[in-house]
Amino acid sequence: MRSSRPQPRSGPAVEVVIEAVGGEGDGIAPGPLYAPFTLPGERVRLAPGGDRREVEAILEPSPERVQPPCPHFGACGGCALQHWERSAYLAWKVGRLAATLQRQHIETELLPAFAAEPHTRRRVALHVRQGRKDAARVGYKARKSWSLVEIEVCPISDPRIEAALPDLKRLAAPLFEHPKSAPTLHVTLTEAGLDIDITGVERKSGGLSADARMRLAEFAAAADFARVTLDGEIAYGARQPIVRLGAATVALPPGAFLQATPQAEAAMAAFVRAAADGAEKIADLYCGVGTFTLRLAEIAPVYAADGAAEAVAALASAVGTAPGLKGIVAEARDLVRRPVLAEELKRIDVVVFDPPRAGALEQSREIARSGVSRAIGVSCNPATFARDARALIDAGFRLTRVLPVDQFLWSPHIELVGLFER
């Protein structure tokens, strides 16, 4: 029986001119045809295929084309745009953000973008595949594939993470007792050293054996890692991983969320603090471990809420490390199922919300119903931010300014912080 699913159209090799770059970083030619690692204005020859083609040759390169700094670029799926000159690449990202807001008929002031530099990522997720007995294969997934590209260098990562790659390969070697294991190393650079949370190890068979756990701990000790956890369960601990957030010191729970680069965190926090200046009482929703809470509490008392109980507990414990804060009340609360209601915001004049990629539509509707005078939105997804912004704008807010944030260098991904005022 013939499948009813539409079959991708196929055609011969073709020469085309790239007209634009799409949302995933691929060049777009008339058709449309999509070609990776191409730039606007380039004439290229595409291989035979369907809508998405491989590039056989760059016939007329763009003047904006540069030499990629990473030897793994093109095979590794971690970066898509290393071949694009920096200012043009950043302008494209900001243009995409503006277009996303315009689709919701939102006009605002776009501030000069924050742009992360190479070698500044303090948080990476490395995929692992079985290798030799004493060293696994560690890297990123290949472009549009489940295959692994083993890496030796990584120019987006902090040099201390890059230097630890051989040790991380040894650490991951004991993780393959079960054939269904597909581990990921979630590596975070902290002031105490590297904190590694390992996910994807098959547990139905009983998890790692005592022998494998012992080898894991031995490799961690030899590498002087601060802590290694298996799905949050401590497998090795030499030092408590800590970070500084404002004047406070936070002891991180396993797998805790942090902004990808400390420089981006500082830029976002500076925007949030300036936008909240003069507040008498603040709510920080989706607060995590206190990235913004602990700085906002230098201005006014803060009510902080997040669905991750471990993060909220870490925030509450950190309060005593920063004398002079105005006061923090922290609550573990599912803000999707139980958003903070407009009535609960009666004494709040500034609300900060920093949701995950799905956005905060339910919470935005409650902010819209409330009497707060300012709302500050932090987002890793411009599309859901624009949707949530529309709910606030329809209720009488105005999005007065936005800071674009490019902390995922050489990816199509852009983030933002925006101020809403009545």
Residue 327: left (phi > 0), alpha (psi -120 to 50), or beta? left
Question: Hunting for tokens 């729970």 — which residue is that?
Answer: 253
Which of 308, 295, 318 is CA-nearest to residue 255? 308
Give the span between the Cα atoms of 366 and 307, in whole angstroms.
17
- DSSP annotation string for 177-230: SSTT---EEEEEEETTEEEEEEE----TT-SS-HHHHHHHHHHHHHHT-SEEEE
Q: Which residues are registered as beta bridge partners of 379? A: 416
**13 neighbors 45 (Cβ within 8 angstroms):** yes
Q: How far apart are the first and last CA of the chain?
A: 61
Residue 114 corresponds to which tokens in the numbers above? 């924050």
How far is residue 179 from each of residues 106, 241, 366, measured CA to CA in Å?
A: 51, 31, 48
Respond yes or no: is residue 287 known to be catalytic.
no
**300 neighbors 327 (Cβ within 8 angstroms):** no
The residue annotated as part of the active site, out of 76, 154, 287, 380, is 380
Q: Which residues are catalytic?
A: 380
